[in-house]
Amino acid sequence: MVFVAGRIAAAIPVLALVLIIVFLLVRAIPGDPAVVLLGPGATREQIAALRDQLRLDLPAPQQFLEYVAALARGDFGLSLKNGEPVLREILLRLPATIELTLMAMFVAVLVGVPLGVICATRANGPLDHLLRLVSLVGVSIPAFLLALLLQLIFASYLGWLPVSGRTSALVTEAPITGFAVLDAMLRGDGAAARSALAHLVLPCAVLAAFLAATLGRYVRNSMLEILGEDFVRTARAKGMTRPRVIYVHALRNALLPAVTILGLKSAEMLGGAILTETIFAWPGIGRYMFEAIRNRDFPVIQGTTLVFALIYVMTSLAVDFIHGALDPRVRRKML
């Protein structure tokens, strides 16, 4: 309990600084933000109204306090493009992003951990070199290029999967949970569930590729470190079989740092979600942010940036808790 409270207390100053950074984004716009955002042709009244909405006429510290107070009331401001409340629009799109990223995380663990173990146990052999090269491509390829390649191969040439979108146009029922696959299954609509899954495959593969490759590289390295330690040699010397030493003793220890990496990198994956959602026309918050950039819709850019940061902070807190629960040494060290 003390450990949990301590971690949360440590996150508070960081969160305050996160809020300041997001607040300062509008101030980083060169010139008068209201004039820049509205573009040429804006009337005096429009500029005055926007200055009022962005609270630009108040002194900076007061602006900041009012901004935070509004956030606390759930008021993320109004979109400059269509006047919709930003928070409502974000919440509407959040399930699509969560569905995509959770699925990608699941696939990445399923692929990345065995990848790392195979490489470490055959270190510097031909299979290790081949798989390391594959995972190197995975971390080096721009998300938009991988997305493009998969679209070309699996959607355009082979025609196995839809090019983009989230559900086929036939689905018109109101969402239950907001998760397309789950909703279809809850309705018992097999065809819709299959369609939703088919739409999920390519964007999920793009996001998972980066994470699986990163995870594979870390698991390989931490396995190699652990396989060189004394207790591994002792276990082997006692006559324990090599598979038992690798899978029971070494892997359990190697997975601890992997949990940390998974947490941090899956949050980092949210950045990749902006590119992936944009290319696959996936209606999540990443694509919402991209559209906002095109329109210089700053309340939306601020809101999505803040939500991404909040998800990141919460994920790393969760990772710390899991890590602490798995390894008592961490609990002591972090206090």
Partner 1 sequence: MHGMGGLAHFLRSNRMASFGIVLLGLILIAVLVGPIFYEVSPTRLNILKRLAPPGPDFWLGTDSLGRDVLARLLHGGRVTLVVGCSVVALAFAVGVTIGMISGFAGGWLDWFIMRLADAMLSFPSLVLAIALAAAFGPSLENAMLAVAITLMPQFARVARGQAVSVSVKPYVEAAVTLGLPRGRILLRYVFANGVGPLLVQATLALGAAILQTASLGFLGLGAQPPAAEWGADVSINLDFVRSAPWVALAPGAGILLTVMAFNLIGDGLAEWMDPRRRAVI
CB of 47 to partner 1, least distance (A): 18
Q: Residue 216 and residue 214: Cα distance in Å, rounded?
A: 5
Q: Which two tokens stand for residue 200?
A: 């999920």
Task: Report in angstroms how near the CB of residue 309 gets to partner 1 at its nearest.
Answer: 5
Give 163 or 171: the residue with its C-beta nearer to partner 1: 163
* Residues at the contact surface with partner 1, assessed by CB under 8 A: 13-15, 17-18, 20-22, 25-26, 28-30, 36, 121, 123-124, 129, 132-133, 136-137, 139-145, 148-149, 152, 156, 221, 224-225, 227-228, 267-272, 274-275, 278, 289-290, 293-294, 296, 298, 301-302, 304-305, 308-309, 312-313, 316
Question: How far apart are CB 16 and partner 1 at their closest, in Å?
Answer: 8
Q: Which two tokens stand for residue 335?
A: 């206090």
Least gap, CB of 41 to partner 1 (angstroms): 18
**Over the chain, what HEC string results?**
CHHHHHHHHHHHHHHHHHHHHHHHHHHCCCCCHHHHHHCCCCCHHHHHHHHHHCCCCCCHHHHHHHHHHHHHCCCCCECCCCCCEHHHHHHHHHHHHHHHHHHHHHHHHHHHHHHHHHHHHCCCCHHHHHHHHHHHHHHHCCHHHHHHHHHHHHHHHCCCCCCCCCCCCCCCCCCCCCCHHHHHHHCCCHHHHHHHHHHHHHHHHHHHHHHHHHHHHHHHHHHHHHHCCHHHHHHHHCCCCHHHHHHHHHHHHHHHHHHHHHHHHHHHHHHHHHHHHHHCCCCCHHHHHHHHHHCCCHHHHHHHHHHHHHHHHHHHHHHHHHHHHHCHHHHHHHC
Q: Enter the tokens of residue 90.
A: 């974000």
Give, to the nearest 10 degrees, the angle between helix 285-294 and helix 298-326: 150
In the bound state with partner 1, the residue whose beta carbon lies nearer, of 155 and 185, is 155
> What is the nearest approach in angstroms of partner 1 to the Cβ of residue 53?
17
Whichever of 91 and 224 has its CB closer to partner 1, that residue is 224
Closer to partner 1 at the Cβ: 181 or 311?
311
Least distance to partner 1 from the beta carbon of 251, Å?
Answer: 13
If the CB atoms of residues 104 and 301 are measured against partner 1, the closer one turns out to be 301
Q: Which is nearer to partner 1, 199 or 287 (CB)?
A: 287
> With respect to partner 1, which residue has the nearer C-beta, 180 or 262?
262
Which CB atom, from 196 or from 213, has the smaller least distance to partner 1? 213
